[in-house]
Chain A
């Protein structure tokens, strides 16, 4: 077990005064794995990274690197390197010296430094930039310098703190591919922090979803998307309609007064559950052919599909369909049994998954604050 786990966190807790920033975080990261810590701002993902790097000591709990306890070991003695959110390139050094920094500190021979720096700059496509001033580089180039500066030390683990958040969309996509390639080629374990679920899904081997200092779910991107453990994860990863339902028996779920076939089992008889239906899994059909009747309240053209907001008995669903509907249309909804994902009730139940106040702006705000609604929505369940 221990030889394959390169980093292990064991019941790590961090408090900033009254505030619990990390609450019993336990996590094992395998060698050569690309792990993403994903969550909204303030969820503790960056704190977790700083704990691993050694910039922060946990109030309780342990951190192991290949079985060795790292608590109390200063950052400069840890075999990890970090790529900082805003790169933190040394402004008084040029590109070459920035990259050479780690080797100079280790007192490597001048010839070895020169060889490695030039090779590393070639790897990140910065040939000929040796004498450039780092403040005169573009965001993407600075990013490459930061990667080169970290990788030249041949760390066991590379920590990346939202490294792509300062780049524009196009460049971000390119860097995603490039980072993934570097990770594959070097075989270095990457621990990547982001709040961008798409980034997390497309790059990672393992995604760790966090909220409020607690790990919500650990799994492959497919698991996290298809089998979210609670309403928070379902909502944070992709779009979800989350509806109160009741599990009548195995493979039978009741929602909105209709009994549906589903593929989930193992719940108590008549257990109250959260039912997740992804917008792309809902088919729009004639009203009389539908399992549920709905009224269209909003339609947005999104390029590959239309995003339809439809009212089903007072609850707003999001539906993605390639066929156009118009506001006011009465439509029927058809859902395949395997499109239902049934989750146990959690403290997040009722907080997400209703699109009645939906707009793109709301989407962005929603990631930040949502604690107040908890009580009144629990009552409905």
Chain B
């Protein structure tokens, strides 16, 4: 019996191993291959060397997504805290409101922001009624950040909320019992204990933000190019160069891995926070 079930497990896992091989390992290998070859398939470091030219794009991508992540944290953390405090029945309603925009197509949402932010868009028309403006909003870095914060905020709130609801109430009571007022309970107990949620929230916002391309194209115009846009151009745009595109992807991936590694450093030793 035991042997049989063991074989069954092996058999089941084989499907996933095959899946990972076909859809993860091989594509990754191809990206590495393309980034180290010319268009004729000859080995070269040229693609990676050329990336230096695009440093400004990398830097602005990292800057914009870092700002967006920070804003998401500033907005999302208090929000997650507030929802974790309300009654369970109300939590459901709050969560639905957070998730609701996510059920609408991403492109449509971003397109809606275009019509809002345009020079003769809805916001500017409203502003003109009270004699202000028009304010130039579309095609600015601010618009890109706004778009990213709007789209990625739920990914910050949900993990923080999840961790917060699992913090044992007795820790908070113990802190109060030892003389900590509400502010001290927040800074010394709740915030440190919610770090795992903060770390995964930052990862879940920063990673998609740094590689996004649609938001920057639609809300940032041509002038606020991000790495995602640059990579898209190499595959689908005018400057067709899959080898350079692969090299860019590879560098981006390494950057993301490094930043995740740094984040995990913050998180180390916190694993048993939730073990009651």
Contacts and interface: CB of A to CB of B under 8 A. Distances in A.
Q: Do A and B come from one complex?
A: yes
Interface of A: 53-55, 74-76, 80-82, 84, 86, 88-92, 101-102, 104-106, 133, 135, 149-150, 153
A105 B174 contact: no
Given A90-B189, A92-B192, A76 B177 contact: yes
B180 A76 contact: yes
Interface in B134-157: none
Q: Is the interface of B mostly helix, strand, loop or mixed?
A: helix
B196 to A, nearest CB: 10
B206 to A, nearest CB: 24
B178 A91 contact: no
Contacts of A86: 170, 276
A91 B179 contact: no
B178 A105 contact: yes
Nearest to B192: A92
Closest 7 CB pairs of A and B: A88-B170, A102-B178, A88-B174, A75-B176, A92-B192, A105-B179, A82-B177
A135 to B, nearest CB: 5
B67 interface: no
Interface of B: 168, 170-171, 173-181, 184, 188-189, 192-193, 195, 270, 272-273, 275-276
Given A90-B189, A92-B192, A135 B176 contact: no
A65 to B, nearest CB: 15
Contacts of B189: 90
Q: Which of A54, A74, A84, A101 has the largest number of chain B CB atoms within 10 A?
A: A101
A91 B193 contact: yes
Contact of B272 (A53, A84, A91, A105): A91
A263 B69 CA distance: 82
Given A54-B176, A84-B170, 20 more contacts: A74-B176, A75-B173, A75-B176, A76-B176, A80-B177, A82-B177, A88-B174, A90-B171, A90-B174, A91-B193, A91-B272, A92-B195, A101-B175, A101-B178, A101-B180, A101-B188, A102-B178, A105-B188, A149-B178, A153-B178
A28 B94 CA distance: 46
A200 to B, nearest CB: 23
A88 B179 contact: no
A135 B275 contact: yes
A185 B178 CA distance: 22
A92 B191 CA distance: 11
Nearest to B172: A88
